[in-house]
Amino acid sequence: MNPQPESSPEKGLCPICQELLREPVSTDCGHFFCQACLIQHAKKALEEDVFYCPVCRKLCSQSILGAGYYCEVHQKKVGWFCEEKQVFLCPDCYKSPEHQDHYDQPIDKAIIHYKERIHRRIRKLRKIPVESWHLPKKKEKLQTLWKQIDSEKQKLKDVLEKQQMGEQGDTDPELLLDNLNSFSEEVTVLQHKISEEETKLNDLIANMEEASKQLNITTLKSVNDLLRRNVKEKLYYLEVNSSELEKKIRKLIQPAPLIQVPCLCQNTPSES
């Protein structure tokens, strides 16, 4: 690979892509690149366990990927982060009227600030399954309902065996059995949906934990998008579907109550 032509913020061109510098970063040897271009170069170079400057071929530390940012407007090294605009600021930007009313912090303090926000968000997310979704009680009641349906299905199978032996009853056990099989499938679907929501929540928590570990100047701009990701505060579909399922089962067993249906809905104000 031939060395790339030299560049600088004044020249405005990246030696790698030969286009105007975007989010310029500099190596220790003083050469400037687009941040994305240098990161892409570093990924390929580190596969060979060596990271060198594309211009002069001097060995570089991987830590430079998180340092040396230069302002695209004033060609000065950035030192602050504007939370409102999600941009890095050089001394001139920091003093400009545009940012006087914004919440600007030194970059190192901004990193600490966002790590604290991530940790607060993680603590809140960990409480959702118990405090907002009431999953322990719901899962227990769904499991109880499934077991009771299964028990009632066995009773109906016994009735069918007796009918085959000549005994007749007032109800159609085959129809009841078909309905109970359908209800059993609905309970299973609800259980799967709960598992899906738990998986989504756990994935978000894991992503946030990883983001906190890796948070530096190169990832500072993207962490706000992660913090804005929402999860369902209430599992309304579970309330509606489980309530409808209970009604259908009760209607089915009114002529011959074979099963006691546990209520899955919460009567607490938080579930209203």
Q: Answer yes or no: is 22 within a domain.
A: yes
Q: Given this model, what pLDDT does residue 122 score?
A: 96
Q: Answer yes or no: is 78 within a domain.
A: no
Domain count, the chain: 2
**Whole-prediction pTM value?**
0.65
Q: Answer yes or no: is 241 within a domain.
A: yes
Q: Given this model, what pLDDT does residue 62 score?
A: 59
Residue ending a domain, among 51, 70, 89, is 70
pLDDT in tens, 15-37: 999 998 887 888 878 888 888 88
Q: Given this model, what pLDDT does residue 146 score?
A: 84
Q: Answer yes or no: is 150 within a domain.
A: yes
Q: Given this model, what pLDDT does residue 270 score?
A: 43
Considering just the CA atoms, what is the radius of gyration of the chain in Å? 31
174 and 52 share one domain: no
121 and 59 share one domain: no
28 and 150 share one domain: no
Handedness of CA 62, 65, 70, 73 (dihedral sign): positive
Q: Given this model, what pLDDT does residue 10 score?
A: 56
Q: Given this model, what pLDDT does residue 265 score?
A: 56
Q: Given this model, what pLDDT does residue 81 score?
A: 93
Structure-token match 């990927």, residue found: 65
- b/e burial code for range 198-230 (CB count within 10 A of at least 16 → b): eeebeebbeebeebbeebebbebeebeebeeee
Two tokens, residue 51:
């990271």
Q: CA nearest 24: which of 73, 60, 63, 95?
A: 73
Q: Answer yes or no: is 128 within a domain.
A: yes
Domain that holds residue 32: 1-70
Note the helical H segments in the chain.
Answer: 35-46, 91-95, 107-127, 135-164, 173-214, 223-227, 236-253
Between β-strands 24-26 and 87-89, what pairing exists: parallel, antiparallel or unpaired? unpaired
Q: State the burial class of residue 183 (Cβ atoms within 10 Å of its Cβ: 0-12, 13-18, 19+).
A: buried
pLDDT in tens, 159-183: 777 766 555 555 677 788 888 888 8
Residue ending a domain, among 17, 51, 70, is 70
Q: Given this model, what pLDDT does residue 271 score?
A: 40
151 and 267 share one domain: yes
Q: Answer yes or no: is 37 within a domain.
A: yes
Q: Given this model, what pLDDT does residue 13 score?
A: 87
Residue ending a domain, among 19, 47, 70, is 70
144 and 233 share one domain: yes
Instruction: For residue 88, give the 3-state DSSP assignment.
Output: strand
Q: Given this model, what pLDDT does residue 138 score?
A: 84
Q: Answer yes or no: is 86 within a domain.
A: no
Q: Answer yes or no: is 175 within a domain.
A: yes
56 and 120 share one domain: no
Q: Given this model, what pLDDT does residue 150 score?
A: 84
The per-residue pLDDT of the chain, averaged, comes to 79
Sites in the chain below the pLDDT cut of 50? 1-6, 257-260, 267-272
Give the 3-state DSSP-derived string for 23-59, with helices as H, strands as E and coil as C. CEEECCCCCEEEHHHHHHHHHHHHCCCCCECCCCCCE
